[in-house]
Amino acid sequence: MSFWTQVWAILWKDVRCELRSRQVWLGMGLFALLVLVIFNFAFDLRVDNKAAVAPGALWVAFIFASLLGLGRTIAAEREKGSLDRLLLCPVDRKAIYLAKLLGNMLFIGVVEIIALPVFAALFNIPLFTGPLLLIVLAGTLGIASVGTLFSAMAAATSARDVLLPILVFPLIVPVVIGAVRATGVLMVPAGPSPNEPPWLSLMIAFDIIFLSVSMLTFEYVIEE
């Protein structure tokens, strides 16, 4: 069976299981919405400071909600013992990583699709532009690539719920800074200043590094 057929089979299985159990999506989605609502009430969002505060609120909601889902991706399979069954199969470990990554991106993506209109309405910001989709995609890939690797690492420990954010947050800082700043630039009506770094390019560079390292090391993390 080809590499991509294996990836597709595992992804199909994960999505089908999640659609039937609805354990991750619902929790992530509700959490993201609640964070946005709380931030909307907590911050003083006048016209002149929106661009400084709103992107941070959006990405904090995305990151916290993502970690809820990332924590369950592999931990649930390990708890049930089905991860061992998957590892018994003659499947390339990179295929397992990619399938889990794509599943996580899909779950986070659905949450983002729900949260973005709510964010735009609550913060009164017209956000739906092509560059925003690219920024969200690059940010999600960065969070999910690191998160998938470390969720496998944390799943083997009893303190996984505490360990996962401690491991993931420091590593995704470059992507988060890039995502917040790039989103903020979109909110400035005058457009980006000439001295603004190419945030999207930096995010893509970090994504490539995270993805490459995670794919190469996943086998050593997942196997005993």
Partner 1 sequence: MSASSPYVEIHSLKKSFGLKPVLRGIDLTVEAGERAALLGPNGAGKTTLLRILAALTKPNGGRVSIAGRDIVEDAQQVRSLVGFVAHQPYLYDELTALENLLFFARMYSVRNGRERALALLSRVGLERKAGERAGTLSRGQAQRLSLARALLHSPRLLLLDEPDTGLDEEGNALLETFLAEHRSQGGTILFTTHRLERALALSDSILMLNNGRVVYRRPTHELEPESVRQVYQEVLR
Q: At what angle do helices 50-73 and 24-42 cross, to 10 degrees?
A: 160
Rounded to whole angstroms, how far apart are CA atoms 115 and 111? 6
Which one of 37, 52, 82, 209 is in contact with partner 1 (CB under 8 A)?
82
Give least dist CB 20 to partner 1, A.
4
Q: Report the candidate in 207, 224, 190, 218 with the shortest Cα–Cα distance to residue 51.
A: 190
- Tell me whether residue 94 is exposed, middle or buried, using C-beta atoms within 10 angstroms of its C-beta: 0 to 12, 13 to 18, 19 or more: middle
Give least dist CB 140 to partner 1, A.
25
| Residue 48 makes contact with partner 1 by CB under 8 A | no
| Contacts with partner 1, 4-43, as mask; x by CB under 8 A | -xx--x---x--xx--xx----------------------
CB atoms within 10 A of CB 102: 19
| Residue 158 makes contact with partner 1 by CB under 8 A | no
Number of residues that bind partner 1 (CB under 8 A): 23
Closer residue to partner 1, CB minimum distance, 1 or 209: 1
| Residue 79 makes contact with partner 1 by CB under 8 A | no
Give least dist CB 16 to partner 1, A.
7
- The pair of structure tokens assigned to 24 is 């991750």
